[in-house]
Structure 1
Amino acid sequence: MHTTHLENLTKSLRGVLGEKLIGTHLRYDELTINVHADDIFTVSKMLRDNPMFSFDTLIDLCGIDYLMYGDELSEKNNFRNRRFAVIYHLLSIDRNHRLRVRVLAENNDFPVVDSITDIWPVANWFEREAFDLYGIVFTYHPDLRRILTDYGFIGNPFRKDFPITGYVEMRYDAEQKRVIYQPVTIEPREITPLVIREANYGDCES
């Protein structure tokens, strides 16, 4: 029954969104649609305002880096060589259905997607998080700045090519009497586990 409901929702989305809908993916009773980055604001407004959908709630918004994902995404969805995506999870309380929307940024070097804060204000901090962690820029965002890392942080820590050690480290300098940043310093060391055994460990009782 649930699958039939999602199949009907898919047909309705195709009829209303038309060419703005690049593709659909129904799996494990979850429906995902793909749209162009340039259309996300218009599509979001249609999904919220059209009474057939009434997606009044944005549950979540997150970024994704497909750098090491492989070619499966590109081949199935004609998104060849696209690296960064934004995923939107929508809920219609009135119609009791959910939807996942995926948008891939056009430019890998400078990923840009329009903000949807004017449609769902809760997207504000979600978009700031994706900007901070993935470097995805949301145009028309009212206050796009880092939200989890420090103001002087270099890079975007959720990108697949971001080094585990980071680029810089922070410490307090007693001479300058302030916090400073410096290149990461890691001293190589050999760790030998300490093993303690009982005196008669392994002996069989007679």
Structure 2
Amino acid sequence: MTTKLEVLELALKNALGERAAISSALGEVTVVVKAADYLAAMQTLRDDKSLAFEEMIDLCGVDYLNYGEGSWDGLRFAVVTHLLSIEHNWRVRVRVFCPDDEMPLVQSITGIWRNANWFEREAFDLFGILFEGHGDLRRILTDYGFIGHPFRKDFPISGYVEMRYDPEQKRVIYQPVTIEPRENIPRVIREETYGMK
């Protein structure tokens, strides 16, 4: 007897052929495509009647720096997209790695699924991943003056700049982060009869 997951894997192999590496684990199917094949593969996933992934559920960036406790030797940045076929009632995860770690870039899928717009802007803002062909790629969550991409694993936890109101200048200013070193001394309160009845 063929399971629904096996039917999906077969349909993916038939539609995408050599353009994709298909695997399944824990009841989920993952398709990994090369950046050069990404846009065509996504178009196929939506338009092929045997797949019919008409809805894009989620798109996010991933930073693989120090992944697997430093044992990862692949590309650093990836874009992961989750798709849903309402017609067939199945889901798939698509992963594409950005070929250049210094300037992570993949094609935009906003021409296929319009709702990818804000998701791609978020991946740009937080990870610095560029989407070629995106019509309005600008920050969406951080401030316009924000420096860097806060979800990158090499971004400092405290950031680079801080914002505060300066009463002398009567405006908001940015300045380098200043963190006063402090020593926390825990205050322990113990009752002599704690835990006894």
Classify 1:203/1:61 alpha carbon distance in 2 versus 1 (closer, same or farther; 3 Å).
closer
Q: 1: distance between equivalents of 2:97 and 2:109?
A: 15
- The offset of 1:73, in angstroms, is 9.0
1:39 alignment partner in structure 2: 37
1:111-161 residue CA offsets vs partner (Å, 9 max, x unmatched): 001110111111010000000000000111111111110001011110111
2:61 alignment partner in structure 1: 63
SS in 1 for 2:3: helix
Question: Which of the residues 125, 144, 147 maps onto 1:154?
Answer: 147
Question: Which of the residues 164, 168, 172 maps onto 2:165?
Answer: 172
SS in 2 for 1:102: strand
Q: 1: distance between equivalents of 2:24 and 2:163?
A: 46
Question: Which of the residues 55, 67, 79 maps onto 1:86?
Answer: 79
1:9 alignment partner in structure 2: 8
Classify 1:95/1:186 alpha carbon distance in 2 versus 1 (closer, same or farther; 3 Å).
same
Q: 2: distance between equivalents of 1:71 and 1:36?
A: 25
Name the % identity. Answer: 59
SS in 2 for 1:162: coil
- Mapped pair 1:185 → 2:184: no
2:122 alignment partner in structure 1: 129
Structure 1: runs of 5+ lacking an equivalent: 75-79
SS in 2 for 1:130: helix
- The offset of 1:96, in angstroms, is 0.7
Q: 2: distance between equivalents of 1:154 and 1:128?
A: 16
Classify 1:54/1:194 alpha carbon distance in 2 versus 1 (closer, same or farther; 3 Å).
same
- Mapped pair 1:142 → 2:138: no
Q: 2: distance between equivalents of 1:141 and 1:71?
A: 34
1:202 alignment partner in structure 2: 193
SS in 1 for 2:23: strand
- Mapped pair 1:28 → 2:26: yes
- Mapped pair 1:54 → 2:52: yes
SS in 1 for 2:39: helix
- The offset of 1:202, in angstroms, is 3.1
Q: 2: distance between equivalents of 1:204 and 1:82?
A: 54
1:145-191 residue CA offsets vs partner (Å, 9 max, x unmatched): 11110001011110111111111111111222111111110011112
Q: 2: distance between equivalents of 1:146 and 1:63?
A: 14
CA RMSD of aligned residues (A): 2.2
* TM-score normalized by the length of structure 1: 0.88
- The offset of 1:196, in angstroms, is 3.6
- The offset of 1:19, in angstroms, is 2.2
SS in 2 for 1:188: coil
Could you list the structure 1 runs, at least 4 aligned residues long, displaced by more than 4 angstroms after superposition.
71-74
Q: How many residues are aligned here?
A: 196
